[in-house]
Structure 1
Amino acid sequence: MDKKISRTWRQKALRPSLFGLIIFFVVAAAYNFSQANTGGRSHNVAINNITISSVTQGEFVDALSLRGQVVPKTTIYLDTTTGGQVEQRLVEQGEFVEKGQPLIRLSNTNLQLDVMGREAQVTEQLNFLRNTQMNMATSRLNLRRDLLEIELQISHLQRRSKQSSMLVDKGLLAKDRLAEIKDNLSYYQARKALTIERQEQENSIRKVQVKQLEESAVMLEKNLLFARENLDNLLFKAPVSGYLSELNVEIGESKERGARLGQIDIPNEYKLVILLDEFYLNQVHRDLAVMVALESGNIMAKVSKIDSRVKQSQFQIEVDLPTSASNIKRGQNIDIKLMLGGNKEQALLLKRGAFFSNSGGNWAYVLTAEGNKAIRRNISLGKKNQDYFEILSGLSLGEKVITSSYGNFDKAQQLQLN
């Protein structure tokens, strides 16, 4: 016979307790998981680990403190027009060279042979031109001689025809003899006309042929002159006076046509190359005032060129330095102030800080009046200089703002300051 087993009070209380503990842990885990994913509504922060700045009021000087690098304003590149092997290096990099001073001597056997071949062609062409001119002169003289002989025959025949006509009238000469004389006269007259026509045609052809030969000779002489200039260019000379800042040649090295040998910088003509954050791309324009800090004192200059191509979040501007600026060297870095021109007398100001990289200036953590909390608030910032942001809206004078990085708590709505 089966016996009924009854549970004790402890056993009866254990099951609800287990269910209660399980539900508690599940709810706690779900809460912690939601807080981890949402960043939480609140975050505890040690006040010693943050930077707090107050909103102030004062003059906002719209100027940027930057550094620019000195580079030559005008650079002449030295490229070879002939190519060849470096035979001699006559100067060293960094020297000051005068216009026309020899710098490098090259050798080029093929170019020398080409010049010799062109000289032979010119000589041959000139000889042919002289021979042609001599032949034309001989032909012209022969035609003139033939014309003189024909005119002489015509003169004789005219005289004989006149005498024979008188004899025929008197019956002393046969008419056939007179007709023969007149036929010969007509022949020589026609021959004279033909000779004159041939002379005119040959003169016309001769002029064209001589002109073509002369033009061909001139062209060959120009080619020869060009080849000789290339041969002269094997001794590379300075095109201008200046500092030889680069000279990329070694003795025995072969250089192709168009290869760069070096560069010359024009002295006392410099410019500054300055890199700016892309934030200022719409604020910078040509002729913008720039204050340059030199050893001799501050001078004013202007932005001369803007390269709007953004590389690694930066763009480049150039500032021409006046020729009066002294003690300037290529590659030197100089402090400048870029005057953006938007100065304001009474502006709300907030010190620059790392918070901008997290919020983009669209929001910030603002401390409460008690100072133990910081509430996330939407704000609007305008221009910035090397020290301050200009506040457009969202903050009031005297309020305190966390301006250090928000990297660890930028999703929290409020911060508990310990």
Structure 2
Amino acid sequence: MFSRIKAQYAVYGIMFLLLVSCQKPAQKAAATDEFSAAPVKVYKVQKQKVSEKLVYTATLEAWKRQTITPDISGKIARIYVNEGERVKKGQLLAELDTQSIRLQLAQAEAALAMARANFEDASRNLERMERLYQEKAVSEQQYEKVRLAYEAARAQKDQAEAAVNLARHALDVSIMRAPFDGVIAAKNLEEGDVINPMMGGFSASSGVLTLVDYSKIKVRFEVSPADALRLARGQKVYLENPSLPGQQFEGQVTTVNTSADPQTKKFRAEALINNQDLVLKPGLFGRIILEVSTRENSLAVPQKAILENSYVLVVEGNKAVRRNVTTGLKNTDLVEITSGLNEGDLVIVEGNFGLAEGSPVKVEGEVVR
């Protein structure tokens, strides 16, 4: 019984060996290739827009910034807003204690009323005296005395009007309003603090409040002399921020300095970025991208497809085949191919480093851009 089972297993083994030995060499090679094929991902070459881009690090600032402070000294009576609060143009922000100013205004208005009465009286006297003088009923000396009194009364009236206007101006400037729509960036003083702009009683950069408008963002960056020649006012730019992945904000160049910084030998430039949703915040850093040259309908591949700056590997018949290429425009993502590839070629973009020409490959996916 045992011997019979052994004999059966021996027969099965011999049959398996015969089957394997009968397998065609091509089938054996295919099986070996499939087992040893390197996994890769490919990019299908296609025509598209390719832009050469310049990239710089930039600092973000609000495009409008103003210190809110009165033109006169006084005690701060009320502050009506807090940090981070959005305000509208003309909105009341803060005011000084105006009690003494109102008393000065009342006093000036009373003095003006008296000066106007004196002036009217002097005007009537002069008018009467002019008639008498023409009739030769009074002497020139008498006439001159009345005329001088009239001139003095008029000067006193003008002075009183100026005093009233000055007091009214002081009352007006003691009330601080928003000069534009914006956000309160800083509350620098508190109610009860005394501010004296004329005597240096506060920091010129602080004031009572700091108001900013960052519905547009001003960005500053430095460029090399060669790049400065490629920039111009009105040129389109894009801003990217690390805290907002996948988002780009459009703007344009507003300033390119005509002289280089003596220390860095670079040129300073500015751009204005649209920020209507107030997503970007002043004080952050960002990446400015400028398209300086663009070509439409060009063959292009991802940067990582290019090996040793001279060739790519394409998939042909499940093998990696070398293609020497000539490149054109480049940016951080794509490289223009001016010769060496055809539309529709499958270029290896992942798994290509260290891969030898002729190696068997297995395509595990296609990269889409």
TM-score (norm: length of structure 2): 0.50
The amino acid across from 1:86 in the alignment is I
1:199 CA displacement? 7.0
CA separation of 1:326/1:139 partners in 2, compared to 1, >3 Å: closer, same or farther?
closer
What is aligned with 1:217? Answer: 157
Structure whose CA Rg is larger: 1
SS in 1 for 2:168: helix
User: How far 1:319 moved relative to its partner?
Assistant: 1.2
Q: Percent identity?
A: 18
**Structure 1 residues 40-65: Cα deviation after superposition (integer angstroms, max 9, x where no partner):** xxxxxxxxxxxxxxxxxxxx975322
- Alignment: residue pair count: 243
Tell me the residue number matched to 2:213.
266
Match 1:302 to one of 252, 259, 268: 252
* TM superposition shift of 1:304: 0.7
Separation of aligned partners in 1, 2:57 and 2:246: 17
For residues 207 and 277 of structure 1, the distance between their equivalents in structure 2, rounded to whole angstroms, comes to: 75
Q: Tell me how far 1:106 sits from its aligned partner.
A: 1.7
- Is the CA contact (8 Å cut-off) linking 2:62 and 2:216 kept in structure 1? yes
Following the alignment from structure 1 to structure 2, what is the Cα–Cα distance between the partners of residues 200 and 95?
73
Aligned-partner SS, 1:125 = helix
Aligned to 2:364: none
- 1:225 is displaced (CA, Å) by 1.7
AA of the residue aligned to 2:255: K
Deviation at 1:112, TM superposition (A): 5.6
Counterpart of 2:161, as a letter, is E
Describe the shift of the 1:257–1:277 C-alpha distance in structure 2 as closer, same or farther (beyond 3 A): same
| Distance in 1 separating the partners of 2:262 and 2:280 | 27
- 1:321 lines up with 2:270 in the alignment: no
In structure 2, distance between residues paired with 1:309 and 1:83? 42
Match status 1:86 vs 2:76: yes
Q: CA shift at 1:248, angstroms? A: 1.5
Tell me how far apart the structure 2 counterparts of residues 256 and 223 of structure 1 sit (CA, whole Å): 21
1:225–1:214 Cα change, 3 Å: same
C-alpha separation between the residues in 1 aligned to 2:169 and 2:129? 40
**For 2:177, which of 237, 241, 253 is the aligned residue?**
237
Gaps in structure 2 of 5+ consecutive residues: 1-49, 199-203, 299-329, 334-369
Deviations 1:26-45 (A, max 9, x none): xxxxxxxxxxxxxxxxxxxx
Q: Which amino acid aligns with 1:250?
A: E
CA offset digits 1:136-159 (Å, max 9, x no partner): 466579x5xxxxxxxxxxxxxxxx
Residue by residue, what CA displacement relative to the aligned partner does 1:365-418 show, whole Å, maximum 9, x if unpaired? xxxxxxxxxxxxxxxxxxx9879xxxxxxxxxxxxxxxxxxxxxxxxxxxxxxx
Query: Does the 8 Å CA contact 1:75/1:264 hold for their aligned counterparts?
Result: yes
Separation in 2, partners of 1:280, 1:98 = 40
Q: Deviations over 1:295-348 (max 9, x none)?
A: 67546532111345627625532112246x6453322444331234499x9xxx
1:100 equivalent to 2:40? Answer no
**Greater strand percent: which structure?**
2
Q: Which moved more, 1:252-261 or 1:236-245?
A: 252-261
CA distance in 1, matches of 2:143, 2:214: 63
Matched, 1:291 2:211: no
Q: 1:98 to 1:61 in 2, by over 3 A?
A: closer
In structure 1, the partner of 2:45 is none
Corresponding residue for residue 256 of structure 1:
196
Post-superposition Cα deviations, 1:71-124, rounded to whole Å, max 9, x if no partner, equal: 222334323211222232221122112233222222377756654553454244
Alpha-carbon RMSD across the aligned residues, in angstroms, is 4.6
* Structure (1/2) with the larger helix percentage: 1
Q: Which amino acid aligns with 1:266?
A: D
| Cα pair distance change 1:276/1:249, threshold 3 Å | farther
1:74 alignment partner, one of 58, 64, 76: 64
Structure 1 contact 277–315 (Cα < 8 Å) conserved? yes
Unmatched 5+ residue regions in structure 1?
A: 1-59, 144-193, 346-383, 388-418
- Kindly tell me: are residues 278 and 310 of structure 1, through their superposed partners in 2, closer, same or farther at Cα, counting changes over 3 Å? farther
- Give the TM-score normalised by structure 1: 0.45
Name the structure 2 match of 1:37: none
Which residue does the alignment assign to 2:135?
A: 196
Residue 245 of structure 1: how far off its partner (Å): 1.9
